A and B are shown apart, each in its own frame.
Chain A
Amino acid sequence: MKTHFLFPYWCRYLGWALILLHVPISMFGLAHGMVNIMDNGPTSTGLFTGVHLFFICTSLVMVSGLFLVAFAKEKVEDEQIWHLRLDSLRWAIYINYLILIISLVFIEDVGHMLELNLWVPLLFFIIRFRWVIFRLNSSFSKEEGHEK
């Protein structure tokens, strides 16, 4: 099956590496007091100041990591995987908008909402997609066990 707009399989590992890399960078920022995102939100400071650059480093690294993990090909990327992928993406969009609508009503802090919007769809997509693949594989190995 021809698959368009997916990264090669190895990009998944690069993605996880980026997500892991984001942790020490955040720790470093926390230790040096560069994180005021929790207090003011990322949009409250000027462009290319220390805090802004730090925000770009951490958020960009994490989101690129999540993006690569989410959209890297599976070992065998066939039409069923494609189907599961689209289904998970649909659920991720539902959840994202549900959270967005709830936070629009109850939360005034727009900065935090943007931050949330940045990673919720990707994270939920990855969790849902891995979960259905895990279920597919476990039911397969169970049936294989029965046949033997």
Chain B
Amino acid sequence: MKNNIRVERAIKNITQADLAEAVSVSRQTINTIESNKYVPSTVLALKIARVFGKPLEEVFILEEGD
């Protein structure tokens, strides 16, 4: 699964730390999600999408083979 968190953060002009605080996780977790090392739970993915005010599918995208 890919994601556009880095792009969305840039649009909204917030740091990893801001996003981490908004969804109550550590900065490391946001970092690993951004670099596709960790797949978040549905709850966390929905929370992140809500921060950006976008539907889930615009932030997280399924890849071939998922």
Contacts and interface: CB of A to CB of B under 8 A. Distances in A.
B18 to A, nearest CB: 15
A30 interface: no
A1 B35 CA distance: 22
B44 A79 contact: yes
Contact of A79 (B27, B31, B35, B40): B40
A144 B16 CA distance: 10
Interface in B13-55: 24-29, 31-32, 35, 38, 40-41, 44
B25 A80 contact: yes
Interface residues of B, number: 13
A108 interface: no
A72 B40 CA distance: 23
A78 B41 contact: no
A79 B28 contact: no
Given A76-B26, A78-B24, A78-B25, A136 B41 contact: no
A84 to B, nearest CB: 10
A80 B35 contact: no
Interface string A112-132: 000000000000000000000
A80 B26 contact: yes
B35 A76 contact: no
A83 B29 CA distance: 11
Contacts of B25: 1, 76, 78-80
Contacts of A144: 31
13 contacts: A1-B24, A1-B25, A76-B26, A79-B40, A79-B44, A80-B26, A81-B26, A81-B29, A83-B38, A136-B28, A137-B28, A140-B27, A143-B35
Interface of B: 24-29, 31-32, 35, 38, 40-41, 44
Interface of A: 1, 76, 78-81, 83, 136-137, 140, 143-144
